[in-house]
């Protein structure tokens, strides 16, 4: 049974049983505590948390998910993927344990003709939470399972929570016995390789408190209603129904391995090729995950989602290189993902040109990284040998990996080829420290939903009505006043509190537009609005400072938007749309918006593009946008469904979640047609003017344009004009001759600096003989150790040390020069050939004094250099160096 049929059969069964079929959400998570959608229940999280009222009592979905917590183990095991599809059925206060068990058993064991999966009932086992006798009774009665095939497990395995205070409950997992060839008998408690988990049924019935995972938290009591959340792994069921050994041999992954075989000339599963098999599986897994992430709007970058995507793509490329592939692999692999996954995700074909362009650009960039990393490794290997060691330091390997993106296994392989090893323990320690910092950061962010619990009751009262499209002042009633996460009855002068109203004219930050400024007024009360945010896209939360009187729940108030600030915000947001349309007109449809931000008078727009824009292109974008402003284009808004809007050609932002009804902003007909909830001018001419400030990179494949509009644009131009007039007056030339005059001055300055550097270098070198004459004899070694006067640069140190060394000729000599540069120490240690022949090593000598100056540095046997942060320690450093030379001589 093909995977696409498994997916559809699951949805069809639950549709027949009264469940609403909900489309898969984006891989980009709307939960601020995680980067990606990591579970099938994630889009329903607000319903389980009570933040929103679900529009249905039962639902079903097949959700695309990405988890990368175990990315280093992908391919090593044969049942874990970074991308997977989680099929689930959900009940919100409707059926509970009996219904969930009945549905799962019926779907898994019914015949193919009846719409089921026809799994052998005698090979199915279940586990339940250790105190859930009710579930045991239900499985025995409904499924007829013998009690010996129903096993109890503890909280670590069979109790579910979100990891934060909120809903939780016991779960029951369904396992399939793959047979004696896959492990020992005894059920899931004995061997989870032989007994493969297929489906997890979560009985959400309790509320948990603060604490860690795995049961280190109290159960506070029952939920107001009992819910069901289940998850069936589509890929796992596929490899059972397709009767293959593992997920990598299923119909949506094995062809990717075949493509990698064709590229490499190697064979998957060949005898003695376990290492290569892991590489094949990494390629298949990572290219699928990476392609689907790009399709959902993620671009490669150095942090967050972009970093994860970059790592997936680069591990794919690196694995291909380790298989011996020398040509680019992205075009063939991404095309194969498109062909395999388009029946499930049609956007892979409709948006293929952009997806391929992003993947190919990352491959080109990474191949340059591999070239650079190989050179850096060559230097590190040489330094290791020169220091008399055969072990590349762990911090060197970590720097190659973390700073330059050079994979550790490639470092290990190159070290082995060079007859060296790597301090893997040191590397792992540094990696662990980095992971612990990341986990601590993630844990610190994990309380996002818990912090919103105070809003649940307010959400149940209904959404805040936003009136700000039509009016700047609105009468409203205070639903709640919140301070430090708690509702309070009244707020007084000086208090900074959060206020929830039944209606408001103040715009909440969303869609890249900053929140409105303004005030809230009541009887004898006034409050300054500091910020406005949305909770669950329905509740407007105003952060205010009480400036007069008192504010209490139930009060009648008036919201007032600062009209001047709103007008400037409108200019900026409409200006953003104009720049976006200009980009698409000039660069084509591949210049996709990747994010935006606008506030009164200012806008920035991020867009997907490889390479910088030329000055001419940037100027042309500015001209197109201003031409649209001068044309006085009408700006209109309308409401429609997402499908209708896209059919008209409306542009939607990748990763954004839209409701059933969306707002479409149209400027000049189809020229600019976007889904947008922001506020805008009524005619483009109301923007006044738009001035491009610059265009820059904000990550691989993502560019940023920044602009001023309206009065801010006028101020900027006035400032530029005053600057030009000032320079013209200073240089006594007309403004049109300024470029030539400034260019001439710059060239004269460059020549003067070159001449000065030559004089300075000559002065430095002139001191060489004096330092030689003052050399100290330590054993058989002439030692020149000197702290040079202020003003000596690191480059001067090296030049002088090299000159002194050459003048020492055949003597055994050590030259150690120090200088204080910007409150820090620079040093160079140079050895004559005779000193190196005598067994001395500059890199080793440096280590003797580094602690004194709190420094770092190193180098080869004949020369080492570096710096330190403790200038006061130079005297001790020079003494330590003499002791090291004296000890070596002894």
Here the CATH number for the domain that contains residue 511 is: 2.40.30.130
The pLDDT value given to residue 56: 93
* Whether residues 60 and 195 fall in one domain: yes
Distance (Å, whole) CA 502 – CA 546: 19
Domain assignment present for residue 710? The answer is yes
Tell me, what's the pLDDT at 445?
39
- 271 within some domain: yes
Which DSSP symbol is given to 120?
A: -
Measure the CA–CA gap between 443 and 845, rounded to whole angstroms: 44
Pick out the residues of the known binding site for Zn(2+): 573, 577, 676, 680
If we measure between CA atoms, which residue out of 210, 224, 134 comes closest to residue 170?
A: 134
- Same domain? For 170 and 38 the reply is yes
Q: Which residues of the chain have pLDDT under 50?
A: 442-451, 889-890
Domain end marker among 352, 379, 406? 379
Task: Give the CATH number, domain containing residue 158.
Answer: 3.30.930.10
| Terminal Cα distance for the chain, rounded | 80
397 assigned to some structural domain: no
Q: Are residues 686 and 818 in the same domain?
A: no
Which of 225, 245, 265 is the last residue in one of the domains? 245
Q: Please give the pLDDT value at position 652.
A: 78
Same domain, yes or no: 195 and 47:
yes
The beta-carbon contacts of 636-640 under 8 Å, at least 24 apart in sequence, are 636/665, 636/666, 637/469, 637/663, 637/664, 637/665, 637/666, 637/680, 638/663, 638/664, 638/666, 639/663, 639/664, 640/664
Domain boundary among 517, 545, 561: 561
- The number of distinct structural domains making up the chain is 5
Report residue 268: phi and psi, to 5°.
Answer: -70, 135
Contacts of 241 (CB under 8 A, 6+ apart): 1, 6, 117
For the record, the structure tokens of 684 come out as 């483009």
Binding site, by residue number, is 573, 577, 676, 680
Give per-residue pLDDT as tens, 442-461.
444 333 333 466 787 788 78
Instruction: Give the pLDDT confidence score for residue 791 in this predicted structure.
Output: 66
- Identify whether residues 276 and 212 lie together within a single domain: no
pLDDT of 444? 46
User: DSSP letters of 351-410?
Assistant: THHHHHHHHHHHHHHHHHHHHHHHHHHHHHHHHHHHTT-SEE-HHHHHHHHHTT---HHH
In terms of Cα–Cα distance, which of 418, 404, 403 is closest to 373? 404
Domain range enclosing 365: 254-379
Q: Please report the pLDDT score of residue 439 as a whole number.
A: 58
Chain centroid offset of residue 158 CA: 31
Q: Concatenate the DSSP letters of all residues of 716-781 into one string.
A: HHHHHHHHHHHHHHHHTS-GGGHHHHHHHHHHHHHHHHHHHHHHHHHHHHHTHHHHHHTPEEETTE
What is the domain-level CATH number for residue 819?
Answer: 3.10.310.40
Do residues 218 and 104 share a domain?
Answer: yes
Task: Return phi, psi of residue 693, to 5°.
Answer: -85, -30
Does 705 map to a domain?
yes
Q: Are residues 269 and 232 in the same domain?
A: no
Indicate whether 417 belongs to any domain: no
Is there a single domain that holds both residue 327 and residue 457? no
Is position 474 within any domain?
yes
- Do 220 and 76 reside in the same domain of the chain? yes
Within a 13 Å sphere around the CA of 552, how many CA atoms are in the beta-carbon half?
7
Alpha helices in 342-351 (DSSP H): 347-350
588 with 708, same domain: the answer is yes
Three-state DSSP state, 707: strand
| Same domain assignment for residues 157 and 298 | no
| 158 occurs within a structural domain | yes
Please identify which residue in the block is written with the tokens 């129904």.
Answer: 241
CB burial of residue 98 (10 Å; 0-12, 13-18, 19+): middle
**Element housing 47 (H / E):** helix 45-48
User: How far from 234 is each of 5, 6, 111, 252, 433, CA to CA, in Å?
Assistant: 10, 7, 18, 11, 35
CB-based burial label for 620 (10 Å; 0-12, 13-18, 19+): middle
Q: 341, 292 in Cβ contact below 8 A?
A: yes
Q: How far apart are CA 234 and CA 236, in angstroms?
A: 6
**Residue 731 domain flag:** no
Is there a single domain that holds both residue 75 and residue 149?
yes
Which of 370, 373, 392, 357 shows the shortest CA–CA distance to 325?
Answer: 370
Q: Which of 498, 642, 25, 98 is nearest to 297 (CA)?
A: 25
**Residue 694 belongs to domain with CATH number:** 3.30.980.10
């Amino acid at each position: 049974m093909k995977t696409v049929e498994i997916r559809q059969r699951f949805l069809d069964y639950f549709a027949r049983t009264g469940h609403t079929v909900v489309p898969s959400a984006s891989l980009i998570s709307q939960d601020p505590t995680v980067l990606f959608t990591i579970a099938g229940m994630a889009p329903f999280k607000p319903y389980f948390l009570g933040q929103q009222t679900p529009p249905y009592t039962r639902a079903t979905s097949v959700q695309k998910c990405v988890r990368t917590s175990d990315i280093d183990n992908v391919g090593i095991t044969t049942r874990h993927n970074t991308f997977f599809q989680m099929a689930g059925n959900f009940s919100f206060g409707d059926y509970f344990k009996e219904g969930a068990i009945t549905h799962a058993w019926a779907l898994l064991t019914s015949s193919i003709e009846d719409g089921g999966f026809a799994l052998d009932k005698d090979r199915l086992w279940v586990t339940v939470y250790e105190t859930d006798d009710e579930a045991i009774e239900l499985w025995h009665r409904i499924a007829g399972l013998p009690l010996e095939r129903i096993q109890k497990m503890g909280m670590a395995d069979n109790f579910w929570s979100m990891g934060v205070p909120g809903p939780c409950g016991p779960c029951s997992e369904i396992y399939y016995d793959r047979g004696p060839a896959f492990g020992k008998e005894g059920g899931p408690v004995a061997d989870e390789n032989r007994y493969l988990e297929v489906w997890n049924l979560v009985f959400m019935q309790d509320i948990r408190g603060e604490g860690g995972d795995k049961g280190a938290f109290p159960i506070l009591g029952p939920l107001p209603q009992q819910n069901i959340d289940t998850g069936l792994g589509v890929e796992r069921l596929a490899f059972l129904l397709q009767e293959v050994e593992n997920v990598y041999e299923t119909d949506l992954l094995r062809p990717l391995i075949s493509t990698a075989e064709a590229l490499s000339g190697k064979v998957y599963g060949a005898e003695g090729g376990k290492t290569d098999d892991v590489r094949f599986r990494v390629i298949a897994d990572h290219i699928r995950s990476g392609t689907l992430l790009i399709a959902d709007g993620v671009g490669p970058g150095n942090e967050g989602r972009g970093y994860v995507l970059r790592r997936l793509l680069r591990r794919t490329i690196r694995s291909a290189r380790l298989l011996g592939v020398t040509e680019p692999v992205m075009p063939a692999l991404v095309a194969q993902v498109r062909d395999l996954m388009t029946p499930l995700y049609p956007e892979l074909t409709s948006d293929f040109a952009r997806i391929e362009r992003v993947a190919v650009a990352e491959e080109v960039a990474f191949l340059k990284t591999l070239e650079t990393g190989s050179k850096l490794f060559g230097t590190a290997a040489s330094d290791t040998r020169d220091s008399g060691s055969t072990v590349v330091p762990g911090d060197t390997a970590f720097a190659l990996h973390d700073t330059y993106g050079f994979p550790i296994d490639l470092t290990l392989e190159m070290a082995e080829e060079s007859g060296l090893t790597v301090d893997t323990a040191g590397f792992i320690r540094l990696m662990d420290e980095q992971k612990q910092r990341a986990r601590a950061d993630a844990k610190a962010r994990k309380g996002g939903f818990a912090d919103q619990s105070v809003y649940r009751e307010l959400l149940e009262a209904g959404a805040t009505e936003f009136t700000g499209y039509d009016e700047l002042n609105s009468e409203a009633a205070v639903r709640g006043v919140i301070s430090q996460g708690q509702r309070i009855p009244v707020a007084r002068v000086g208090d900074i509190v959060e206020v929830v109203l039944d209606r408001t004219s103040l715009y909440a930050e969303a869609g890249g537009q900053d929140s409105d400024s303004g005030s809230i007024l009541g009887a004898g009360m006034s409050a300054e609005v500091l910020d406005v945010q949305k909770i669950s896209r329905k509740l407007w939360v105003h952060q205010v400072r009480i400036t007069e009187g008192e504010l209490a729940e139930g009060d009648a108030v008036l919201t007032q938007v600062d009209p001047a600030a709103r007008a400037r915000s409108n200019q900026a947001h409409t200006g953003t749309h104009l720049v976006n349309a200009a980009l698409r007109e000039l660069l084509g449809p591949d210049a996709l918006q990747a994010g935006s931000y606008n506030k009164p008078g200012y806008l920035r727009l991020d867009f997907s593009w490889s390479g910088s824009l030329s000055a001419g292109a940037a100027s042309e974008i500015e001209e197109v946008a201003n031409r649209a402003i001068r044309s006085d284009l009408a700006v209109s808004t309308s409401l429609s469904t997402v499908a209708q809007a896209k059919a008209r050609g409306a542009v939607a932002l990748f990763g954004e979640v839209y409701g059933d009804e969306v707002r479409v902003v149209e400027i000049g007909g189809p020229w600019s047609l976007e889904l947008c909830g922001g506020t805008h001018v009524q005619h483009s001419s109301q923007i006044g003017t738009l001035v491009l400030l610059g265009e820059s990179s904000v990550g691989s494949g993502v560019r940023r344009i920044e602009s001023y509009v309206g009065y801010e644009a006028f101020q900027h131009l006035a400032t530029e004009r005053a600057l030009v007039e000032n320079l013209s007056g200073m240089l006594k030339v007309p403004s049109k001759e300024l470029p030539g005059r400034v260019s001439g001055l710059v060239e004269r300055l460059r020549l003067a600096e070159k001449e000065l550097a030559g004089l300075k270098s000559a002065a430095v070198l002139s001191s060489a003989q004096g330092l030689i004459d003052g050399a100290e004899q330590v054993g058989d070694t002439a030692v020149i150790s000197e702290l040079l006067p202020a003003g000596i640069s690191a480059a001067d140190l090296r030049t002088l040390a090299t000159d002194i060394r050459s003048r020492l000729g055949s003597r055994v000599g050590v030259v150690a020069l120090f200088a204080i540069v910007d409150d820090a120490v620079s040093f160079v240690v140079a050895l004559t050939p005779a000193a190196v022949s005598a067994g001395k090593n500059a890199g080793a000598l440096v280590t003797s004094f580094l602690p004194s100056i709190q420094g770092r540095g190193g180098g080869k046997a004949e020369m080492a250099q570096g710096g330190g942060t403790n200038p006061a320690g130079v005297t001790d450093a020079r003494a330590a160096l003499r002791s090291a030379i004296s000890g070596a001589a002894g």
